[in-house]
């Protein structure tokens, strides 16, 4: 059964760093496009980042230079390293598999940036 | 301001048919890029509902259907049920932006 599960969220002060994890089962992350999508409280969905099967990475302008997506093939896990966090980064962060669309999504992990 | 425009809310009585529109432009839907739809039940993660404009993943009831024409797409739900009450999002690709996925702002469906 295909599953993804996020972890690593929490309360962090502005300017701080946090690393989110997305553990996959039932498929291989290195053979798929893996995305991070976030949803601010009461708001809609916003695409954040992707890592392609070939290893290329792309980011939304709002996080470029601050966030880094990576993967550990041995752990079948994707990461999102978030630095220089801002209040406006507060959101539930979802991991989703897919290229044209997200066919499997995790339950999300909440990141709260506040002093 | 979302790249794709959806009505903030729609409503219908049980058993009725409702449609949710998703309006884009010449750089996304109008350029021929596929539209996909997600259902987000309260307090849960988005779930893929329609992919490639008209296709349903396994397990999605045929009460849900999608279409695309010109710079717009629509999601139709027939035989409305109480459990359909959720937020619905359309998603596509936009060639003018440096993002992989663009989303509509979401539509809250209320079953009366």
Measure in Å the smallest separation between the Cα of A93 and chain B Cα atoms: 10
pLDDT, tens digit, 9 for 90 and up, residues B47-61: 999 999 999 999 999
Quick one: pLDDT at residue A53? 95
Q: Is A10 left (phi over 0), alpha (psi -120 to 50) or beta?
A: left
In this prediction, residues B32-52 reach a mean pLDDT of 97
pLDDT at A47 over 90: yes
Query: Which residue of B101, B102, B104 is the best one to mutate when testing the A interface, meaning the one whose CB has the most A CBs within 10 A?
Result: B101
- φ and ψ at B101, to 5 degrees? -125, 135
In this prediction, residues A68-81 reach a mean pLDDT of 98
Determine whether the interchain pair A60/B99 forms a contact, defined as Cβ–Cβ distance below 8 Å: yes
Q: What whole-number distance in Å separates Cα of residue A97 and Cα of residue B77?
A: 26
Of B44, B57, B105, the CB nearest to A103: B57
Quick one: pLDDT at residue A112? 98
Instruction: Label residue A83 by pLDDT band (50, 70, 90).
Output: very high
Instruction: Label residue B98 by pLDDT band (50, 70, 90).
Output: confident
Q: Is the dihedral of CA B44, B89, B21, A42 positive or negative?
A: positive
Q: What whole-number distance in Å separates Cα of residue B35 and Cα of residue B24?
A: 10
pLDDT at A30 over 90: yes
Contact status, residue A79 vs residue A110, Cβ threshold 8 Å: no
């Amino acid at each position: 059964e295909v599953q993804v599960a996020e972890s690593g969220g929490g309360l962090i002060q502005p300017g701080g760093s946090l690393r989110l994890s997305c553990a996959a089962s039932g498929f291989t992350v290195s053979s798929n496009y893996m995305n991070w999508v976030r949803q601010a409280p009461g708001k809609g969905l916003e695409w954040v980042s992707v890592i392609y099967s070939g290893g290329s990475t792309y980011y939304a302008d709002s996080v470029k230079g601050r966030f880094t997506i990576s993967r550990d093939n041995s752990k079948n896990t994707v990461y999102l390293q978030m630095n220089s966090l801002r209040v406006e980064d507060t959101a539930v962060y979802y991991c989703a598999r897919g290229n044209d669309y997200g066919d499997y999504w995790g339950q999300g992990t909440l990141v709260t940036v506040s002093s | 301001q979302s790249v794709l425009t959806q009505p903030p809310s729609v409503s219908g009585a049980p058993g009725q048919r409702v449609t949710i529109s998703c309006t884009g432009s010449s750089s996304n839907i109008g350029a021929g890029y596929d539209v996909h739809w997600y259902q987000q039940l309260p307090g849960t993660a988005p779930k893929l509902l329609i992919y490639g404009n008209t296709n349903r993943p396994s397990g999605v009831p045929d009460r849900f259907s999608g279409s695309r024409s010109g710079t717009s797409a629509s999601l139709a739900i027939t035989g409305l049920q109480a459990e359909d009450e959720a937020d619905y999002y359309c998603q596509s690709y936009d060639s003018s932006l440096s993002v992989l996925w663009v989303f509509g702002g979401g539509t809250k469906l209320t079953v009366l």
